[in-house]
Chains A and B, each alone.
Chain A
Amino acid sequence: MAHLLNSLDSGYQSFYIDKNKDETWLSRTYNDTHEFKIQLKKLKAHLNKCIQDAEEDELNATGNVKNINNEKEILKRAKKRGLVISKLNKASRQWNNNVTKQVKLSGIQYNKFKNQTNMKSHNGDLDSVYINKISEEYKNDIYLAIGYHIARYGLGEMQTVKRNEIETYLKDVYGLDEKVAAIYISMTEKINNIKTYNTKDCINDYDKNSDIYFEIYLLDIMILIKDKNILTTLEYLRKSTSRSFFNNKSSIIVEKISPFLTKVMLGLEVENIDELLNQQVDICVDLVSKDYCKQNKISFDSSLFSIILSGIISLQFFIKYNNIQKALHVDWTTKNELPFNVKLPESVSKFHSIFICPVLKEETTIENPPYSLPCHHVISRKALDKLSKNGTISFKCPYCPVAATISKTMKVNFILL
């Protein structure tokens, strides 16, 4: 349960007085003030009318003779004038009260929310774990990394459509090589083609037996079904499906295409076709971009994203460690290595093989490489030196009873393909 998220959400909701009308105390104040202004204008007009009438009366009044009608008018006017005054006072008072009250209520609401945003845990924040600072001199490197990241994911959102404009933009702002940029732009174009259901060029790039071909083929069929073009759908199926084709995928064809076909033949609608289409687009985009990255030697995830994701995951452990450290007054054991292990998803972390020497519990390095014993257990050079007293004696493998001498060991090299 995301407790904080829920409380923030309800805090946000209470900015609005009436939940359906999107009215806040402040917008009510504005409306009231607007009303008040209109009322003032009306009252002014009334008063002006009174004055005008009185002036006319004075002009019309000849000598000292006053007629009764006129007196009635004057009385009426006096009444009206009194009404204007009392209305003016009443409206002002009311407006004044409302405005003051509403602004105050608004302030209370704001303060309440502000307090709610006080979420930072006392146990540490981002700044507290930023020990190994990245200095400003690496700004160009960071910009380059951002450039690659944008090229990898962000070009689809770019409004400029012209290829060379994007190339120039990536070069000028982020320092990306045009050739590299071009590779990414082509990928974006490919992805955009799939997203806009323009699969004709794309499908021919792939081997007819490949998974990608099949998924794009499936996408094509769904697009045709969405358009409710029964004849074309059938024609497409007839043309492209041969017995040898999709040999190993017959079960998927039966499972995925048959229900469509049945519905199309019966003239029925496939209800969730849009959702299915989107899913299929995602599958195709994923496969096509994976393949493209592999073909063009670029990594599927941008280096920036892989590192950031690892950073986000490890942050919790950094904070935890910081707290333990503070509580126990211990220092980092080694400056050169993190004092704790962070489990990261393989997709962003598995690029090198890691061998931990079972004797020393240290990761092997170039200076301290792994060695294979005659029994084919592996330990590090330093452990080997220790066990063999620098090669002077034979020793027992720490894992099995087989004895070894240093001459019978062999340096090994773990390689991850």
Chain B
Amino acid sequence: MKSIINEPSTDFHLRINEESFSIPAEILKRNLNKLERSVKLRTDEISVLLNKVNELMDSNTLENDKSAVLEINKIIKKVDRLEKELLKTKDEEYDILMRIQERISFFKELEHAKSLTSRELLIGWYQKYTNLLIGDYLVRNSKSEIKKDDDTGCYNNDGSLFLKQQHMEKLLDYDIIINANIISNSLIKHNDIGPLLTWIHDNTQYLKSIKSTLDFDARLQEYLQLLSKDNYKEAINCFQLHLVKFISTHSLEIQQAAGFLLYHKSRCIYQNGTTNNPMKTPINSSMMNTEDSSKYNSLYLHFFNKELPTAYKEHDAFFTNSETKLELSGFGNLNKSNNYSNLFDECRWKKLNDIFLREYYQMYGISKNEPLLIYLSLGISSLKTKDCLHKKEITTSENKELDFYLNSKVISNKCPVCSNEFRNIAKEMPYAHHIESILYENPIMLPNGNVYDKEQLEKLAAQVTERGLYNISSEEIIDPIDKQVYLKSSFVKMYPT
């Protein structure tokens, strides 16, 4: 099929928009996997119950029959629960299938426009497509907070609201991205790791299959978060429950994490637990007392399952030389106290968020970069001429009305690259490559060196006269740049190649 405006084929668009179909396909698979597990679970439970019923009925006594009825009740309850899960999955399936159907129709519209070689329909389609890209961008980069719609229970942001206004919500899996946003926001804005942990729990298998370190990174952050709140009990609990199992793959980090507890706690002990930011407090070893020392001992015992080495029992030695000693005790190159300070750094949250988003987007096959930005980058480059972004020198005349007309209506340029909204971005983009001049039918030069299209100049002269802005005779034209009137006889026909 021939393209109308040099646009790509429908299949090319499909390839580029693979996500429109692979994401729903992935959601279907995930939902079914979940369902499959419950079906297995419930059918097994029901089989067991059914065996029980059969056993009870075998004995053929009234009492056992009654018990059998109770067991059947249990079966009904199990079936009922499964029915509800099935209903949910079935409704989800319906929703997803509708999305797929809508998307197929969307691309059929493109194919239809192409088959009719209708420029209007094609442009109309691309406008819809642009709105879709905008929706995607806004969903990912919403400036407003995510809000829950109480009527539908849906979460909305700038993007989903925009898509709904445009009746395009089925064309984009915005819920998937908003879900990621919710987890992201809780990490970055609230330093709350809960939603991420839930997500990790639900997707353990996937994360394992891609050998992701997200689980470890999240647990480490949880542990650090607990420490920063001086919640040692929970921190140790977290360490034992979730971190120790990574010892074979992350031994260095785990050592560091364990060391950090000692380090952090020691500082808090010095400050009698009053400090909130131990990193900024200088060590004052003279404040150490015996009681604290024994606490230390027990902590050390707890982590390393051995006595604190004698050298460390001497408080001064431990704390004044802690950096070198820690190195000896196996903290490797992470010995310097400075290396601990980055453990409380805010950027850890951002890093964790980056890892999460990477895994999340990869799981659904969502592109890393916003397609809108990609198309903008390509588009600006393919449009940017060497003439773009330059302010033109404009001469003024004494006729203000004429100046206004000429400056605003005639020589004002509506080039998208030069527009206020894109000029800053465009500065950094490469220029388009042209192999042929793009000029006009009848280029003529005025005595001042300005070259115009002859017809356009004549038209302009007529308009200016018609509007009563200036009286130009039929032998003359006006140059809208320098506002001078020239005789048509001064025209020089140009031969630019």
Contact = CB atoms under 8 A, between A and B. Distances in A.
Give the bracket for the number of chain B residues in contact with chain A.
Answer: 35 or more
A19 interface: no
B473 interface: no
Interface in B1-20: 1, 5-12, 14-16, 18
B68 A132 contact: no
A417 B25 contact: no
B418 interface: yes
Contacts of B333: none
B10 to A, nearest CB: 4
Contacts of A92: 46-47, 50, 75
A1 B14 CA distance: 13
B421 A303 contact: yes
A412 B451 contact: yes
Contacts of B16: 125-126, 315
B1 A157 contact: no
Given A5-B104, A107-B36, A345-B6, A355 B439 contact: yes
A132 B377 contact: yes
Interface stretch (A61-69, A140-148, A189-197, A198-206): A140-148
A327 interface: no
Contact of B422 (A96, A141, A297): A141
B112 to A, nearest CB: 10
B10 A414 contact: no
A416 interface: yes
Interface string B349-392: 00000000000000000011101111111111111011110100
Report which residue of B15, B107, B379, B431 has the largest number of chain A beta carbons within 10 angstroms of its beta carbon: B379
Interface stretch (B128-136, B171-179, B209-217): B128-136
A28 to B, nearest CB: 9
Interface in A342-367: 342-345, 348-356, 358, 361, 363-366
Contacts of A318: 378
Given A132-B429, A335-B430, A48 B8 contact: no
Interface string A366-405: 1000101001111000000000000000000001000000
Interface stretch (A214-222, A232-240, A263-271, A306-314): A306-314
Contact of A352 (B53, B388, B436): B388
B459 to A, nearest CB: 8
Nearest to A37: B79
A88 B51 CA distance: 11
Contacts of A410: 445, 449
Nearest to A336: B430
A324 B457 CA distance: 45
A27 interface: yes
Given A127-B367, A315-B8, A51 B62 contact: yes
Given A313-B6, A344-B6, A106 B32 contact: yes
Nearest to A16: B97
A164 interface: no
B382 A5 contact: no
Contacts of B421: 141-142, 144-145, 148, 303-304
A114 interface: yes
Contacts of A253: none
B275 interface: no
Give the bracket for the number of chain A residues in contact with chain B.
Answer: 35 or more
A252 interface: no
Interface string B259-292: 0000000000000000000000000000000000
A349 to B, nearest CB: 6
B54 A89 contact: yes
A308 B376 contact: yes
A284 B151 CA distance: 40
B73 interface: yes
A197 B120 CA distance: 21
Contact of B378 (A144, A314, A376): A314
Nearest to B49: A92
Contacts of B62: 51, 54-55, 58
Interface stretch (B318-326, B336-344, B488-496): B488-496
Contact of A114 (B29, B72, B408, B420): B29
B429 A47 contact: no
A344 B424 CA distance: 23
Contacts, number: 423
Nearest to B385: A352
Given A37-B83, A351-B414, A311 B375 contact: yes
B439 A353 contact: yes
A328 interface: no
Interface in A74-130: 81, 85, 88-89, 92, 96, 99-100, 103, 106-107, 110-111, 113-114, 116-121, 125-127, 129-130
A289 interface: no
A35 B90 CA distance: 16
B79 A305 contact: no
A359 to B, nearest CB: 10
A231 interface: no
Contacts of A334: 430
B185 interface: no
Nearest to A312: B375
Contacts of B415: 351-352
B334 to A, nearest CB: 32
A118 B22 contact: yes
Interface string B70-90: 001101100110110011011
A342 B430 contact: no
A337 B432 contact: yes
A372 B493 CA distance: 11
A7 to B, nearest CB: 10
Contacts of B451: 412-415
Interface in A128-166: 129-134, 138-139, 141-146, 148-150, 153-154, 157-159
A159 B69 CA distance: 57
B144 A26 contact: no
B479 to A, nearest CB: 9
Given A85-B54, A92-B46, A153-B127, 20 more contacts: A2-B9, A5-B11, A5-B107, A26-B89, A119-B15, A130-B369, A133-B369, A153-B131, A157-B167, A297-B408, A301-B416, A305-B126, A308-B372, A308-B376, A311-B376, A316-B12, A338-B382, A338-B431, A343-B6, A377-B497
Interface of B: 1, 5-12, 14-16, 18, 21-22, 25-26, 28-29, 32, 35-36, 39, 43, 46-47, 50, 53-54, 57, 62, 65-66, 68-69, 72-73, 75-76, 79-80, 82-83, 86-87, 89-90, 93-94, 97, 100-101, 104, 107-108, 111, 120, 123, 126-127, 129-131, 133-134, 137-138, 141, 143-144, 158, 162, 165-167, 367-369, 371-383, 385-388, 390, 408-422, 424-425, 428-440, 443, 445, 449-453, 456-457, 460, 480-481, 492-497
28 contacts: A24-B90, A100-B43, A103-B32, A103-B39, A117-B22, A119-B18, A126-B371, A126-B374, A130-B374, A139-B141, A141-B422, A307-B376, A307-B380, A309-B379, A311-B378, A312-B379, A337-B432, A338-B432, A339-B433, A354-B386, A354-B439, A358-B497, A411-B449, A412-B450, A412-B451, A415-B411, A417-B457, A417-B480
